[in-house]
């Protein structure tokens, strides 16, 4: 069977070994002669999965017991509401940086919960850059940023220094590079880009920022309830958490964040280098803010789109059609994407230039 080079923006590619192990667990999990899909989440066999999946997050982030990790349902979009619900006080306000569609959605939800201020935005240029040089307020309840913008292909290369809790949506670049996790009070991410399949959202929170809103909390939206329940207050997303655990094991076994950061930089350098060299293509965002996860580019001659599409499809490439808000093409090169797949796309781009320049 011919290899398919999967550049899907999400759910994203998973390591082949992880897929094999996950498939086996659907038939016979942990030598129980039972499927993972049908066992109790309270069984000791599954509890150890949840425990390891939570512990691996802290290990890879290099944080201690001051943080807790949860796996929750509802996608990162639910966190747009849970973050302000758990952190925003009635008398205070939340500060947000708007860098794209998902940041905008987070702002919309926060405004429903309480007073919310946008302190910086790149909307004026269709989110083609990351705002810089803005002043972080000292009196806000927290500052929320989005580290990587999947749709527009921008990425924060550094993070603001804060005297207030820093909250980050890392859904599309979690564990793709080294960050100082201790600079953040809360990190959340949908699993389906870099650490697992769709259906689970990782939340890591510093415990000392919780319980300060003064409001009576709904149980399912209360981080402290989920922490007390060891991420199993209700039935968790059993299979997605298991596959996430396998993916985190894979990441650790191959050399951890240092290893994958180097690989991701190689992939990004290869693809952006071709975009800049090739007379037929142009990038969509300012160079200093280019994402190492989601590479967006356009044809200089859009009328040649059908010809380019034919070439990349014949090469076994899938998932590079750009988002409707940007157009063109988007190659998502998440952690599990091998360098050879990026090379396959680059080879097609070179062949296109030779044929149609």
Whole-angstrom distance, CA of residue 58 vs CA of residue 47: 17
Catalytic residue list contains 102: yes
312 is catalytic: no
We report the CATH number of the domain holding residue 331 as 3.90.1150.10
- Do 277 and 322 fall within a single domain? yes
78 and 218 both lie in a single domain: yes
The DSSP code sequence of 282-338 is EESS-GGGB-SSEEEEEESSGGGHHHHHHHHHHTTEES-BPPTTT-SEEEE--TT--
Q: Is 49 exposed, middle or buried (0-12, 13-18, 19+ CB in 10 A)?
A: buried
Domain closes at, from 253, 282, 312 = 253
Is 114 in the same domain as 263?
Answer: no
- In degrees and rounded to multiples of 5, residue 57 shows phi and psi of -60, -50
Q: Is residue 321 in a domain?
A: yes
Total Cβ atoms within 10 A of residue 42 = 9
Domain count within the chain: 2
Domain boundary pick from 216, 236, 253? 253
Specify if 6 maps to a domain: no
Which of 102, 206, 250, 289 is flagged as catalytic? 102
Query: Are 84 and 160 within one domain?
Result: yes
Q: Do residues 207 and 290 both lie within one domain?
A: no
Residues 155 and 229 grouped into a single domain: yes
What distance in Å separates the CA atoms of residue 175 and residue 342, rounded to the nearest whole number?
19
Asked whether residue 162 is domain-assigned, the answer is: yes
Domain span including residue 183 = 16-253
Whether 266 is in a domain gets the answer: yes
Q: What are the tokens at 24?
A: 């086996």
Q: Is the distance from CB of 49 to CB of 242 less than 8 angstroms? A: yes
Catalytic residue among 141, 173, 193, 289: 193
Answer yes or no: 51 catalytic. no
User: How many residues belong to the chain?
Assistant: 357
Catalytic residue (one of 20, 108, 111, 169): 169
289 with 243, same domain? no
Give the residue from 213, 229, 253 where a domain finishes. 253
Same domain, 284 and 202: no
On whether both 201 and 218 belong to a single domain, the answer is yes
Q: Domain check: are 30 and 166 in the same one?
A: yes
In a domain, residue 193? The reply is yes
Going residue by residue through the chain, which has 357 residues, state the pLDDT in tens, using 9 for 90 and above.
Answer: 568 999 999 999 999 999 999 999 999 999 999 999 999 999 999 999 999 999 999 999 999 999 999 999 999 999 999 999 999 999 999 999 999 999 999 999 999 999 999 999 999 999 999 999 999 999 999 999 999 999 999 999 999 999 999 999 999 999 999 999 999 999 999 999 999 999 999 999 999 999 999 999 999 999 999 999 999 999 999 999 999 999 999 999 999 999 999 999 999 999 999 999 999 999 999 999 999 999 999 999 999 999 999 999 999 999 999 999 899 999 999 999 999 999 999 999 999 999 987
């Amino acid at each position: 069977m011919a290899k398919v080079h999967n550049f899907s923006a999400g759910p994203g590619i998973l390591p082949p070994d992880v897929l094999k192990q996950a498939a086996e667990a659907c038939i016979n999990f942990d030598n129980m002669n039972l499927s993972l899909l049908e066992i109790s989440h309270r069984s000791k066999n599954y509890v150890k999965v949840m425990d390891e999946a939570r512990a691996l997050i802290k290990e890879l982030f290099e944080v201690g017991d001051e943080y807790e990790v949860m796996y929750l349902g509802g996608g990162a979009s639910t966190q747009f509401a849970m973050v302000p619900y758990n952190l925003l006080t009635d008398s205070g306000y939340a500060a947000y940086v708007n860098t794209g569609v998902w940041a905008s959605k987070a702002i919309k939800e926060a405004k429903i919960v309480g007073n919310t201020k946008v302190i910086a935005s790149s909307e004026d240029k269709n989110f083609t850059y990351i705002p810089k040089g803005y002043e972080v307020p000292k009196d806000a309840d927290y500052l929320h940023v989005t580290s990587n913008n999947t749709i527009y292909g921008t990425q924060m290369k550094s993070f603001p220094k804060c005297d207030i809790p820093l909250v980050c949506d890392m859904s599309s670049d979690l564990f793709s590079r080294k960050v100082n996790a201790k600079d953040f009070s809360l990190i959340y991410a949908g699993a389906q880009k870099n650490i697992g399949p769709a259906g689970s959202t990782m939340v890591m929170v510093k415990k000392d920022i919780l319980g300060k809103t003064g409001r009576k909390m709904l149980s399912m939206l209360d981080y402290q309830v989920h922490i007390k329940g060891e991420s199993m207050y209700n039935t968790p997303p059993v299979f997605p958490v298991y596959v996430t655990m396998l993916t985190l094991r894979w990441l650790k076994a191959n050399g951890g964040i240092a290893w994958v950061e180097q690989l991701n930089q190689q992939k990004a350098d290869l693809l952006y280098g071709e975009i800049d060299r090739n007379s037929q293509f142009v990038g969509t965002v300012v160079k200093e803010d280019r994402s190492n996860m989601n590479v967006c580019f356009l044809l200089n001659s859009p009328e040649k789109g059908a010809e380019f599409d034919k070439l990349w499809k014949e090469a076994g490439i899938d998932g590079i059609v750009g988002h409707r808000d940007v157009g063109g093409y988007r190659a998502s090169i998440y952690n599990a994407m091998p360098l050879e797949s990026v090379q396959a796309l680059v080879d097609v781009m070179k062949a296109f230039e030779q044929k149609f320049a």
